[in-house]
Structure 1
């Protein structure tokens, strides 16, 4: 008979197989949600400037433009859209704002009169909920 103490402990830095699988599934779900959002936004007349834009300060899922508005979009995929809207915590909001500052500095050719941060959620039925102007910098 084996006891709990007989199990070989997972060493620090190792990740269980189940956790790797969950991470892989979550990553692919996120990519799928971003593609769904991108297609929907393009159908509504938005021009996609960047997707998965990485900076030294963080990543922004989608950067898009419509007329003189540049919109930085965070895409969240959850079983229920409401759950996704609740998971944009203050630390992540600061990361998004700082990443946007970096992108604007890297792309002086982007003209705009207004900037906005939106959260677009996708649920398991691929229904989209668009929360506009979710981050206000004071």
Structure 2
């Protein structure tokens, strides 16, 4: 296995573990998970969850420390999530009856989860 392949395998495993931790935290907080790793023509969304009619399009990131979250969601990724959300809402019009927000969940090396609700908003 090449070093690049090994890094990719580790990143995939780490990402799957982080998504599982994120979903566990969301469910414990009363969210319903509609989808994990939902693929759209605009790209993949890590988690789609809903609570009391509020739909959350969620990006999950692993970082060594929770404090490293500030630069975790660049503009290009935000644009991809916006485009994916439009597709998701067109395919599932019954989701998000009270609105949609974009959250970022950071999972640190110890498995702690930090949610940044409304991590960004689309330009009006």
* TM-score, normalisation: structure 1: 0.85
State the distance in 2 between where 1:24 and 1:110 align.
Answer: 33
> In structure 1, how many angstroms separate the alpha carbons of the residues matched to 2:49 and 2:70?
20
1:101 maps to 86
Q: 1:33 aligns with which of 5, 15, 18?
A: 18
The structural deviation recorded for 1:111 is 4.6
Q: Which has the higher strand share?
A: 2
1:71 maps to 56
Over alpha carbons, which structure has the higher Rg?
Answer: 1
> Which ranges of structure 2 fall in alignment gaps of 5 or more residues?
none
Unaligned runs of 5+ in 1: 1-15
Shift of 1:127: 1.0
Higher relative contact order (CA 8 A, sep 6+): 2
1:39-78 pair list within 5 angstroms: 39-78=24-63
Runs ≥4 in structure 1, deviation > 3 angstroms?
Answer: none
Q: Aligned Cα RMSD in Å?
A: 1.2
The answer to whether the 8 Å contact 2:54/2:100 transfers is yes
What is the number of residues matched between the two proteins?
A: 123
